[in-house]
Amino acid sequence: MKTDFLKIFKLKDLDPSMLQKESCYSDKIIALVEEILLEIKEKGPEPLIKYISKFDNYSPKNIGQIRVSDKEIKYAVQTVERKHKKLINALDTSIKNIKNYHQHQLKKEPKSWFIKPAKGKKLGQIVNPINRIGIYVPGGRYSYPSSLIMAAIPAIVVGVKEIVLVTPPAEGGKVNDVILFLCNKLGIEEIYKIGGAQAIALLAYGVGDIEKVDKIAGPGNIYVTLAKKKVYGDVGIDSLAGPSEIVIIADDTAEESFVAADLISQAEHDPNSRSILLSNKEFIKKVSIEIGRQLENLLEKYPENGEIALQSIKSNCMLVYGEDIFKLTDLSNKIGPEHLEIICKQQKRVLKKIKNAGAIFLGNYTPVAIGDYSGGTNHIIPTSRNARFCSPLGVYDFIKKSSVTYYGKEALKKERRVIEQLAEYEKLYGHRNSVAIRYKED
């Protein structure tokens, strides 16, 4: 396949505005999401059933029918155990590696602690898991068990007591057997057959006997993302997931076929996915040829995936060349990609200069697919340049800290004038009095 559609730029000629991703949120979609959320928040069960019937491939008669039954879970477990023995082994390895990583991550997180900075004075913090969380797992036509594992395990590791799962069902209201098998394995019992903005409304507001959650985690489509954005404040959210992204910083030590394959692997997610290669001019020429060859092969073997990848590469792939690997690294920091691969001689020096990246993969034999499935790190990662201020999903997303303060009478007396003076300057006289009243006898 000819690749004259590829966008190739010289670093010094690159227009910085080309790095900015335009929002793909249309006013029509935003209005629909807001309508769904408002109706369900105000009226509860009736609009929830209406939107499930409209968007979720089945028509429940009441709220009780949207919950997956024990019988359905048992049947799914038996089916998977009978039909998917190799898949079960793969899932077990994935769970083991991801749990191990997040258990070590938790050990590095701050614990409850206290200090005594002066006599009669004690300060510190206590750490607790969030009580009730909701996990959104994309579903319907395709199934994503890896997303369930990634969202659930950090919460399980920190000791979240109640985990609720929502996922779009297939035709007739059937939830994917492997998803239910995993829920059973991970101890998740509260599962609802619902997707889209209506699922986020259910989690954020609660409907009927279904209690609202404290935080929502997990990726979804544009309706899910907009709904999460809208309900933030009523509940917590992990992040706002956009189309997948990859940046690869490479030199001649990289294998061009590997680099092309990794660019295409992210492109097959979505026509809006973004793939960028930062390298030298000669290596980019080699990768361009490989992209054409591999896209042709993908189109022949898996036409649907190939068409998505081709559309994404045509629209959102950029190949940028320059001779200074560290100037290319500066460009990567401006992009702040979801996934970053570094395959070059000066790998350690380049890594030290990385400031903005969601997940980083080093060397010829560390494709992003490792992080997607079995490596152990989390694949729910900030997109859309949010790596500038966000982190991958982790145990820290499911714990909360409370500060603790104790002052004895003499300790407060030593600082009362400080508090009173600051309160008076800010004209908060009730604040001043709340200290002064404790020393009326003085």
How far is Cα 426 from Cα 439, in angstroms, rounded to an integer? 21
**Phi-psi label, residue 57: left if phi above 0, alpha if psi -120 to 50, beta otherwise:** left
DSSP state of 374: T
- Structure tokens belonging to residue 221: 């489509």
How many of the other CB atoms lie within 10 Å of CB of 49? 20
CB 238 within 8 A of CB 76: no
Handedness of CA 267, 269, 272, 275 (dihedral sign): negative
| 102: Cβ contacts below 8 Å, ≥ 6 apart | 153, 154, 157, 376, 378, 394, 395
Tokens, residue 151: 């969202």
Q: Which long-range contacts (CB under 8 A, 24 or more apart) does 292-301 make?
A: 292/1, 292/2, 292/3, 293/1, 293/260, 294/257, 294/260, 294/261, 294/264, 295/1, 295/264, 296/1, 298/264, 298/268
Region of 247 (left: φ > 0; alpha: ψ -120 to 50; beta: rest) is beta
Radius of gyration of the chain (CA): 26
Sign of CA dihedral 250, 255, 260, 262: negative
Active-site positions?
Answer: 338-339
Burial 122-154 (b: 16+ CB within 10 A, else e): eeeeeeebbebbbbbbbbbeebbbbbbbbbbbb
For residue 438, give the 3-state DSSP assignment.
helix
Amino acid found at 295: L
